[in-house]
């Protein structure tokens, strides 16, 4: 059961990585188009900036999920590095419980925010709901919550310490 859950989280992780990469590509195309229409055609398009903002919201939440799973989020590693054994595990459990609470907050109140704003439309895109633009909030909370559960299952609360015997080589060529 545990191995199946971890495999499922591997697929979720890859999907989030793909979505984040796709968002980055879309933003990379949208912004130059905006600059081209403004300065070359002398007629600025009204949609690129709000579209880039909407895509950036999706990018932010999917990237946060990926960074959390890969232990790339902002963390202070000094305290866990000083602790050993059950104290280190207890700190890891406490931190993950705090993360779970935070993500349950994002999920619960994100759903309420989406529901409250669902029938409003975005001025630049009248057919797009404001609630749709807030959808990454509860989805990000739910996905990160799933990765918190994965950490509880694996017991890997902190990133692996770098191998002190590994030697970094720098090429001087």
pLDDT attached to residue 159: 84
pLDDT attached to residue 57: 95
Residue 91 inside a domain? The answer is: yes
Residue 31 inside a domain? The answer is: yes
How far is residue 137's CA from residue 86's CA, in Å, rounded to a whole number?
34
Residue 173 inside a domain? The answer is: no
pLDDT attached to residue 118: 95
Instruction: List the pLDDT tens digit at each of the 173 positions of the chain.
Output: 899 999 999 999 999 999 999 999 999 999 999 999 999 998 888 899 999 999 999 999 999 999 999 988 877 677 888 888 899 999 999 999 999 999 999 999 999 999 999 999 998 898 999 999 999 999 999 999 999 999 999 999 988 776 666 655 665 65
Longest dimension (CA), the chain: 65
Residue 116 inside a domain? The answer is: yes
pLDDT attached to residue 83: 86
Residue 130 inside a domain? The answer is: yes
Residue 121 inside a domain? The answer is: yes
pLDDT attached to residue 124: 87
β partners of residue 132: none
Q: What is the DSSP string of 113-132?
A: HHHHHTT-EETTEEEEEHHH
Q: Are 23 and 56 in contact (CB under 8 A)?
A: yes
Structural domain count of the chain: 1
pLDDT attached to residue 102: 97
Q: What is the DSSP string of 29-63?
A: HHHHHHHIIIIISS---SSHHHHHHHHHHHHHHHH
pLDDT attached to residue 92: 92
pLDDT attached to residue 79: 82
DSSP designation for 158 = S
pLDDT attached to residue 22: 97
Q: What's the burial of 161, exposed, middle or buried (CB within 10 Å: 0-12/13-18/19+)?
A: exposed
Cβ-based neighbours of 152, under 8 Å, separated by 6 or more: 93, 96
Residue 164 inside a domain? The answer is: no
Which range of residues forms the domain containing residue 128? 2-154
């Amino acid at each position: 059961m545990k191995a199946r859950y971890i495999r499922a989280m591997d697929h979720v992780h890859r999907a989030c990585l793909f979505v984040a990469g796709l968002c980055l590509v879309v933003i990379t195309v949208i912004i130059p188009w905006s600059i081209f229409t403004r300065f070359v055609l002398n007629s600025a398009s009204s949609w690129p900036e709000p579209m880039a903002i909407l895509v950036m919201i999706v990018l932010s939440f999917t990237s946060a999920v990926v960074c959390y799973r890969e232990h790339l989020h902002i963390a202070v590693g000094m305290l866990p590095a000083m602790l050993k054994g059950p104290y280190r595990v207890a700190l890891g459990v406490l931190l993950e419980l705090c993360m779970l609470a935070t993500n349950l907050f994002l999920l619960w109140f994100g759903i309420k925010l989406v529901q409250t704003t669902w029938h409003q439309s975005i001025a630049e895109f009248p057919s797009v709901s404001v609630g749709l633009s807030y959808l990454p909030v509860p989805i990000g909370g739910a996905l990160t919550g799933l990765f918190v559960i994965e950490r509880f299952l694996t017991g890997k609360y902190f990133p692996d310490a770098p191998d002190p015997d590994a030697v970094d080589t720098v090429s001087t060529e």
